[in-house]
Structure 1
Amino acid sequence: MNKKMNLRVLTLNIWLAPRDQQKRDALLLKGLEEHDADIVFLQEVVRTPERDAFQLVKENSSLHWHHASDFARHASDFADFEWPLWGTAVGTRWEPKSITTHKLPAADGPYVWEAVLSLPIGVDMLFLGPRPSFNFTDEAARVEQALFVTELEEKRRQEAPTIIAGDFDAAPDQDCMRFYTGKSAINGRSAAFRDTWAIAGDGGPGYTWTTDNPWVARSVTDGQGIVPNYVVQEPHHRRIDYVLAGSTVNHLTVESVINSSKVVFNEYPTASDHYGVLAEIELNALDKPTAWA
């Protein structure tokens, strides 16, 4: 059995808005095929009679796909609003040994995916895909959710380094991301996940939600921007989408090296208001634990 492999992980918020739907769907499928990731985590995946983005990617991909709704309550609870039914989707090269979601602490129904995968190098890996609270004022909730996610990871981690990916709606200097990446402790607890972009990005800021993207900009030529001044003021640039990898210290029987981390889906015309992140991680299953043990 080959004990080495390169694992490719992609996260992208595909944007629930129907604007230029057919063009954006085509760009989405083209990008998914080109990047050929082993694990894909998509957010804002609409499922309505008019647009079923989940079915679209499922029918045009060889990955194993699973979907969950962002709403913990029945859709009729939102009858007074023109909300589409949307959620998240996880696609994996290998059929998960187990896959489920857990509710995160908060009233707005966020959750986290938990999937255990058997890799072709003979070890299992845990994937976690959080869908945290998204408002600018929700950082306290995101911190509580980060505590929940890392506690879940401690209980469920496997031999290969855990992967946590998604749209975290938080910049690297915010409390929840500082906690995830070991830069600060919260309530006497700490974690140490590797931010793949910080380690193996191109040295730039890695913005994934920015007014450089015409879909985000308040004033663009087609008048279809989504960010008026009451949300943010132009210019606005944030890195809020991440692929995180578990600490080597917690996975002594599988060496891991982050070879690359790229901002993707960022060429105009863009498929979404977000750019994505694609990370490639080299894994080597060892016959015995490293010297850390």
Structure 2
Amino acid sequence: MNGRVLEQLQWGFQELLTGAGELENQLSRPRGVPGEITVWAPGSVEDLDGHCHNAESSRILEISRGLSPTSSTTAVMFAGPLSVFTLNLNIDRPDPSGDRLVRDEIQRLQPDLVSFQEALWHEEAADQARRILEGLSYEVVHQFDLQEPDRPYGTAIASRFPIVRSDLVKLPSTSRGREFPRAIQAAEIQVPDPVGRVLLVNPKPHFEPHMELEREMQAVAVADYVDRNADPEGFPPLIAGDLDATPDASSIRFLTGLKSLQGRSTCFVDTWIASGNTEPGYTWSSDNDFTRGLADRLFGGSEVRRRIDYVLMGSPLLYKGFARVQESEIVLDQPRGGVWASGHFGLFVTLGVTPETRPRERAGS
């Protein structure tokens, strides 16, 4: 072995030690953010290159580069938990400063995935969802990124991880629903292993109390969509949004495996129940000043409290990827300075992605 070759080997060994030292520093830092990223072997991170549109993705690659991104023994791992936040923003809020409350809560919770309903749309650069999340390292897809706008509001999905596919599918209805067509917005999100590809579905069915027939049709369509697009070998799909029906309604009972519809059945886990909650979990209440008038118009009373917003997870009997409900909590259920964030309350859910996933700690909790 000549001196030049020996010198190169020594240099390479020193680089390896330096990279390992930097990795040790990264992994020994306190868990300050949700979904702490670690590096594991074997595997490859090359498939993530070019898809890093947010700070979390960049942080993943930054850590992996400490061990050379071209190495076949390098992989990026997500320790979890995976967190989901859903909120109907309500298009007709009397005080737009509610957006500030929503943004502050998202900064506190730091959810990995966000599902909005009734997000105002002006143009791509100035829509409500992007405005709320601006600078918070989310990739955002609004419903009207996927279709010509037919109203001033729609659904939106945001993620701290790369959104690799977006979809919009019309929901079935009857002649009663023709004036306001409804849709499923969905996104496939690339979370590092062991989670992998996650299907997040954000449907918005009809809200009118007398239209449970249409909601039944739409619930079956949502289940069919999930069956067509979710991977039985992968992480359980997630439905997050305002389903405009209480747990005893036939559409929700169908989705949670308590009732069959149209000759078929399915089963999603209601994360509110699975987390051990025994409270009713109301997400739409006449206790909210903003909601009281609408509650009176829709239900003929001023004392109306309903749980109509959900995060549902595909059954572990149907999907092999590990996922366990850790916590589910109602948020944004109190005014601040006399201002309500929305007519709905938000729902925040965390999911363990391995048997060892620890419950997360949040600033201000």
TM range (shorter): 0.7 to 0.9
Q: Is residue 46 of structure 1 aligned with residue 116 of structure 2?
A: no
Shift of 1:60: 3.6
For residue 304 of structure 2, the aligned residue among 193, 214, 236 is: 236
- The 8 Å contact of residues 99 and 132 in structure 2, kept in 1 or not, is answered as no
List aligned pairs for 1:113-152, cutoff 5 A. Answer: 113-122=185-194, 123-152=196-225
Give the fraction of aligned pairs with identical amino acids, expressed as a percent.
29
Shift of 1:257: 1.1
Shift of 1:71: 12
- Alignment partner of 1:40: what SS? strand
For residue 266 of structure 1, the aligned residue among 303, 325, 333 is: 333
List aligned pairs for 1:212-223, cutoff 5 A. Answer: 212-218=287-293
Of stretches 40-49 and 25-34 in structure 1, the one that deviates more from structure 2 is: 40-49
- The 8 Å contact of residues 201 and 262 in structure 1, kept in 2 or not, is answered as no
- The 8 Å contact of residues 170 and 176 in structure 1, kept in 2 or not, is answered as yes
Distance (whole Å) between structure 2 residues aligned to residue 183 and residue 70 of structure 1: 35
Identify which of structures 1 and 2 has the higher relative contact order when contacts are C-alpha pairs closer than 8 Å and 6+ apart: 1
Shift of 1:52: 3.8
Equivalent AA in structure 1 for residue 158 of structure 2: G
Shift in CA distance, 246/228, structure 1 to aligned 2, threshold 3 Å: same
Shift of 1:230: 5.4
List aligned pairs for 1:267-286, cutoff 5 A. Answer: 267-269=334-336, 270-284=340-354
- The 8 Å contact of residues 236 and 323 in structure 2, kept in 1 or not, is answered as yes
- Alignment partner of 2:291: what SS? coil
Distance (whole Å) between structure 2 residues aligned to residue 174 and residue 112 of structure 1: 20
Q: Is residue 257 of structure 1 aligned with residue 324 of structure 2?
A: yes
For residue 11 of structure 1, the aligned residue among 62, 86, 108 is: 86
Deviations 1:28-58 (A, max 9, x none): 1101111111110011111248x84133124
Q: Is residue 33 of structure 1 aligned with residue 100 of structure 2?
A: no
- Alignment partner of 1:255: what SS? coil
Distance (whole Å) between structure 1 residues aligned to residue 131 and residue 298 of structure 2: 34
Shift of 1:284: 2.5
Equivalent AA in structure 2 for residue 188 of structure 1: G
Distance (whole Å) between structure 2 residues aligned to residue 59 and residue 88 of structure 1: 17
Shift of 1:148: 0.8
Equivalent AA in structure 2 for residue 142 of structure 1: R
Shift of 1:69: 4.3
Distance (whole Å) between structure 2 residues aligned to residue 272 and residue 3 of structure 1: 32
- Alignment partner of 1:217: what SS? helix
Distance (whole Å) between structure 1 residues aligned to residue 117 and residue 135 of structure 2: 17
Between Structure 1 and Structure 2, which shows a larger proportion of helix residues?
2
Equivalent AA in structure 2 for residue 180 of structure 1: L
Shift in CA distance, 97/48, structure 1 to aligned 2, threshold 3 Å: closer
Query: What is aligned with 1:181?
Result: 256
Equivalent AA in structure 2 for residue 282 of structure 1: G
Deviations 1:171-219 (A, max 9, x none): 000000000000011122111100000111531000000111121123x
- Alignment partner of 1:244: what SS? strand
- The 8 Å contact of residues 162 and 191 in structure 2, kept in 1 or not, is answered as no
Distance (whole Å) between structure 2 residues aligned to residue 229 and residue 19 of structure 1: 17
Query: What is aligned with 1:164?
Result: 239
How many pairs align? 268
Query: What is aligned with 1:95?
Result: 162
Distance (whole Å) between structure 1 residues aligned to residue 190 and residue 242 of structure 2: 25
Give the root-mean-square deviation of aligned CA atoms: 2.3
What 5-or-longer segments of structure 2 have no aligned partner?
Answer: 1-39, 41-76, 356-365
- Alignment partner of 1:169: what SS? coil
Between Structure 1 and Structure 2, which shows a larger proportion of strand residues?
1
Normalising to structure 1: TM-score of the pair?
A: 0.85
Equivalent AA in structure 2 for residue 257 of structure 1: R
> Which one has a bigger Cα radius of gyration?
2
Equivalent AA in structure 1 for residue 304 of structure 2: H
For residue 153 of structure 1, the aligned residue among 183, 205, 226 is: 226
Query: What is aligned with 1:289?
Result: none
- Alignment partner of 1:21: what SS? coil
Deviations 1:109-142 (A, max 9, x none): 1111121122112421211110111111111111
Query: What is aligned with 1:67?
Result: 142
Deviations 1:63-111 (A, max 9, x none): 1001114998864xxxxxxxx7111111011121211111110233111
What 5-or-longer segments of structure 1 have no aligned partner?
Answer: 76-83, 219-225, 286-293
Normalising to structure 2: TM-score of the pair?
A: 0.69
Equivalent AA in structure 2 for residue 25 of structure 1: D
Of stretches 162-171 and 93-102 in structure 1, the one that deviates more from structure 2 is: 93-102
Distance (whole Å) between structure 2 residues aligned to residue 279 and residue 230 of structure 1: 29
